Structure 1
Amino acid sequence: MAVAAWEALFRAQVSIMRRLSAEFPTEVMSLNEYDVLFNISRAPGRHLRLKELNRHVLISQPSVSRLVDRLAARGWVEKSHDPLDGRGTIVQLTAKGFQEFRRAAIHHMEAITDRVGGTLDEAELRQLIDLCDRLREAQGQPPANPHAAE
């Protein structure tokens, strides 16, 4: 039963992600760029160590480094050396980057609401959040959004 449940969860996630990616609301920003900006925007002070960013995004580490370089070239993030670890890099969201992120986020949230919220009722959404949080916690990860059910 665990394998069937995993397969169902995985296939649903892939189907939704493909649809969201195809419908991503802006020609200015890719879904992967959005994912990087989203994770940086949620960090305290809107900055994050590159190593930590790699743990949270959906793409591979070399791809994240190249993507961050492209975002820096556009003025959406700034890179600096980590003062606590000279080998590390801090990635900071700029005001321009946050503005572009917010613009895309509004449309992206509407698409998610349509794709997921249009299919499940509020009780089912809360149950899905609880189940996914339990699965993450069992893997040693914190809940994705501790305030999502509020």
Structure 2
Amino acid sequence: MSTKNRAAVHWLNPDEERAWRAFRRVMIAVQSSTAQDLAAIGLSEADYEVLSTLSERPGHTSTLHEQADKMGWSRSRLSRHATRMETRGLLRRAPDPTDGRGCLLVLTDQGMDTLRHAAPAHLASVRRHFVDRLAPDDLVVIERLAERLA
């Protein structure tokens, strides 16, 4: 790396680096723990995200585009994942009347039953790995920080 390029980098100071690394450790620890708990009941984090989102939508339906945006995924990535979920009977696709190139994701009865079965275990996992380890004031601070970072 040239001296010119190195000087242009705004390096993290020690406090900033510690905060960044602590944030990453927490995200990885909580996410991997809750993902393992979901895997134990046969779902991935993405499966649960799709099922729970669809369950909250009118008609238990969302466009592929809206769901991909919510998850931060490309439409093609979500489309491949939706194909796997469709094969398992968790959702079905329908033509999107407003977008000839898109499709709707529709929660099936089996998908809703799967979500009903998984939700208590997932919520217990979120409590065990996140909520119960924090004081109510901590939760308020985390919410405020999340709003700022989002």
Superposed, 1:74-85 pairs within 5 Å as 74-85=88-99
1:88, 1:3 → 2: CA distance? 42
The amino acid across from 1:80 in the alignment is A
Equivalent of 1:35 in 49, 59, 67: 49
The amino acid across from 2:97 in the alignment is P
- Judge conservation of contact 1:54–1:60 (CA < 8 Å) in 2: yes
Aligned-pair CA distance for 1:30: 2.3
Equivalent of 2:103 in 81, 89, 101: 89
| 2:86 counterpart of 1:72 | yes
The amino acid across from 1:99 in the alignment is D
Q: Which runs of 5+ in 2 are unaligned?
A: 1-14
Query: Which residue is equivalent to 2:36?
Result: 22
Larger Rg: 2
Return the TM-score normalized by structure 1.
0.78
- CA RMSD, 1 decimal: 2.1
Aligned-pair CA distance for 1:23: 2.3
Q: Which runs of 5+ in 1 are unaligned?
A: 137-150
Normalized per residue, the structure richer in helix is 2
Equivalent of 1:62 in 54, 59, 76: 76
- Judge conservation of contact 2:35–2:45 (CA < 8 Å) in 1: yes
- Judge conservation of contact 1:81–1:88 (CA < 8 Å) in 2: yes
Return the TM-score normalized by structure 2.
0.78
| 2:126 counterpart of 1:125 | no
2:91, 2:119 → 1: CA distance? 17
Aligned-pair CA distance for 1:58: 5.8
Query: Which residue is equivalent to 2:122?
Result: 108
- Judge conservation of contact 1:25–1:108 (CA < 8 Å) in 2: no
1:59, 1:105 → 2: CA distance? 23
Percentage of matched positions with identical amino acids: 27
